Amino acid sequence: MLKLLSLLLLTFSFTVVADDDWRTPATENLVYMQLDTGLVVVELAPFMAPKHVAQFKALIKEGFYDGLDFYRVIDGFVAQAGDVNEQKASQHKGALAAEFTRSVATDSDFMLVQSPDFMAPQSGFLYGFPAGRDPDTKQEWLLHCPGTLAMARNNDANSATTDFYITIGQATRHLDRNMSSFGRVIYGMPAIQALHRAELNNSSGVIEDVSKRSKILWIKAAEYVAPAQRISVQVQQQTSAAVAQRLASARTLDNEFFHFKGNGNLDVCYYQLKSRLVTD
């Protein structure tokens, strides 16, 4: 049992947590995805990609994704879903202008964690999302950490329409500032990780046998989910004492479990803000 207790420390859990250390995302920014592997809840990021959020919500409202599937799933990379044949009709499938980054807003709540980051001048959190920032260009953006939701596109930066992907492996940071990220899974990553993958030798990642693809039963805005199907998910406040303590401890590995104390650098994608379920 000793080994168990010790390894627990690796998760940097803290049991003393004040209620105001957690926030409940706005209902209008929550999306439920009922997959055949389980329920997933996504928090949308309209502050970064308002047009992508608006189109996604319009598509959801008309039931565009219901019955479609995850047709391209590459372990360690992305799970991509939607209308692979681009045959499904919709009033809301126009090409979207890229929303890869945004100009730093004067009221941005960006919280610096790491500077320089390995892939950006700065990384940290922005409204609870892992984010990057460049003080020179005065741009900020969402990072492609595990659980990031973004729209697929072709080579044209302004070509996303309906199909989306969720990152499922080591952070695909080369997609940062190249794709319009517009949300993040805050509940149900195990259901995403359980999605059926393409076979090993299938380099395209497209699962040809449609019957093997994991299905989207439905996707709904939270407000349209029946109360009995709702759950109450909260996310750590990036400014909470618990997060500050976790990051400080991670930076120095100030625990007798660690014999090598690291170099002080933090990978924000590993230290994403935690979620919890609240029950009455």
- Give the footprint of its own copies on residues 104-143 (CB under 8 A): 118-120
| Contacts of 236 by beta carbon, 8 Å cutoff, 6+ apart | 21, 22, 23, 128, 242, 243, 273, 274, 275
Edge-first strand listing for the sheet containing 122-126: 102-103, 139-142, 129-134, 122-126, 111-114
Q: Which stretch binds its own copies (CB under 8 A): 27-35, 54-62, 145-153, 221-229?
A: 145-153
Nearest to 144 by CA among 171, 168, 117: 171
Residue 248 is a binding residue for its own copies (CB under 8 A)? no
Number of residues that bind its own copies (CB under 8 A): 81
CB nearer its own copies, residue 224 or residue 245 = 245
User: How far apart are alpha carbons 237 and 274 in whole angstroms?
Assistant: 9
CB nearer its own copies, residue 31 or residue 175 = 175
Nearest to 273 by CA among 123, 81, 162, 128: 128
State in angstroms the smallest separation of the CB of 16 from its own copies: 12
Residue pair 96/55 in contact by the 8 Å Cβ criterion:
yes
Site string for its own copies, 160-199 (x = CB under 8 A): xx-x-x--xxxxxxxxxxx--------x-xx--xx-xx-x
CB nearer its own copies, residue 53 or residue 171 = 171
Residue 36 is a binding residue for its own copies (CB under 8 A)? no
Nearest to 179 by CA among 146, 148, 204: 148
CB nearer its own copies, residue 33 or residue 171 = 171
Q: Which of 39, 104, 111, 159 binds its own copies (CB under 8 A)?
A: 159
State in angstroms the smallest separation of the CB of 223 from its own copies: 23
Residue 145 is a binding residue for its own copies (CB under 8 A)? yes
State in angstroms the smallest separation of the CB of 225 from its own copies: 18
CB nearer its own copies, residue 107 or residue 136 = 136
Backbone angle region of 188, left / alpha / beta, with phi > 0 → left and psi within -120 to 50 → alpha? left
Q: Which stretch binds its own copies (CB under 8 A): 44-52, 102-110, 208-216, 270-278?
A: 270-278
Q: Give residue 72's identity as a one-letter amino acid code.
A: R
Residue 6 is a binding residue for its own copies (CB under 8 A)? yes
Residue 34 is a binding residue for its own copies (CB under 8 A)? no
Q: Which of 8, 105, 210, 248 binds its own copies (CB under 8 A)?
A: 8
Site string for its own copies, 73-92 (x = CB under 8 A): -xxxxx-x---xxx------
Residue 72 is a binding residue for its own copies (CB under 8 A)? yes
Question: What are the residue ranges of helices labelled H in the chain?
Answer: 2-8, 50-61, 189-193, 241-252
Residue 207 is a binding residue for its own copies (CB under 8 A)? no
Edge-first strand listing for the sheet containing 22-23: 22-23, 233-236, 275-277
Token readout for 275 is 């979620």
CB nearer its own copies, residue 85 or residue 91 = 85
Q: Are strands 22-23 and 233-236 parallel, antiparallel or unpaired?
A: antiparallel
